[in-house]
A and B are shown apart, each in its own frame.
Chain A
Amino acid sequence: DQQVKQNSPSLSVQEGRISILNCDYTNSMFDYFLWYKKYPAEGPTFLISISSIKDKNEDGRFTVFLNKSAKHLSLHIVPSQPGDSAVYFCAAKEVDSWGKLQFGAGTQVVVTP
């Protein structure tokens, strides 16, 4: 049962424009959410996280928005750069758990010149 879903397998965006990646979840017990970026043949690299008590978190070009009522979160990258081309994974953790993450299937982002 896939509790974290990334319904867009791919996204193409022009350099300098905004990239918006979406993630939906079904488990209301999730209280902590993370986004990871992954290049081929490498492990996932942490980007940004958000706790369920917040609805927005920013770090440089990356902003994550959380809509708990809709069980939806999104990652905004502004401006997009060629080095942002990678697979992006949304992950979630259940409340009071020790940290086991459940991941979505990922979205492949391609930033074109």
Chain B
Amino acid sequence: DTGVSQDPRHKITKRGQNVTFRCDPISEHNRLYWYRQTLGQGPEFLTYFQNEAQLEKSRLLSDRFSAERPKGSFSTLEIQRTEQGDSAMYLCASSIGLAGGAETQYFGPGTRLLVL
């Protein structure tokens, strides 16, 4: 399978705990994105990497959130001191990185987080 993969697919945690999600993009893609989706809404942009550089973060990404993409390959998204409002589907997408950005983003299956 050469698509975007995410791990874990589901995570249940207690409020205040830290969680970390992993995303493996399509191998030749140099752009990687994290989105969050809540019930009844479309995905909302969180952050973006071009290779290993994190180039933009949304205002949705509070100080409790941190993302990395060491060596420009897989990426991790960590949420510290989780809150019930963090419960959502966390989606990772990757793209090949064309000039102007008119390329297709391919999404992984998502990690569904439930904070109790």
Contact = CB atoms under 8 A, between A and B. Distances in A.
B40 interface: yes
Contacts of A69: none
B104 A46 contact: yes
A98 B102 contact: no
Contacts, number: 75
A41 interface: yes
Interface stretch (B14-22, B64-72, B73-81, B108-116): B108-116
A58 B45 CA distance: 28
Interface in A55-98: 89, 91, 93, 95-98
B107 A45 contact: yes
A15 interface: no
Nearest to B6: A43
Nearest to B112: A41
A102 B45 contact: yes
B82 interface: no
B11 to A, nearest CB: 14
A109 B109 CA distance: 20
Query: Which of B101, B103, B106 has the most chain A CB within a 10 Å cutoff?
Result: B101
B33 A99 contact: yes
A22 interface: no
B42 A98 contact: no
27 contacts: A6-B42, A36-B107, A41-B109, A42-B109, A43-B4, A43-B108, A44-B43, A45-B107, A46-B105, A49-B104, A51-B102, A91-B42, A96-B101, A98-B31, A99-B31, A99-B33, A100-B33, A100-B48, A100-B56, A101-B35, A102-B45, A103-B42, A103-B44, A104-B42, A105-B41, A105-B42, A106-B40
Interface of B: 4, 6, 31, 33, 35, 40-45, 48, 50, 55-56, 91, 93, 95, 97, 100-110, 112
Given A32-B101, A45-B107, 20 more contacts: A41-B110, A42-B110, A43-B107, A43-B108, A43-B109, A44-B91, A46-B107, A89-B42, A97-B101, A98-B31, A98-B48, A98-B97, A99-B31, A99-B33, A100-B56, A101-B35, A101-B43, A103-B44, A105-B42, A106-B40
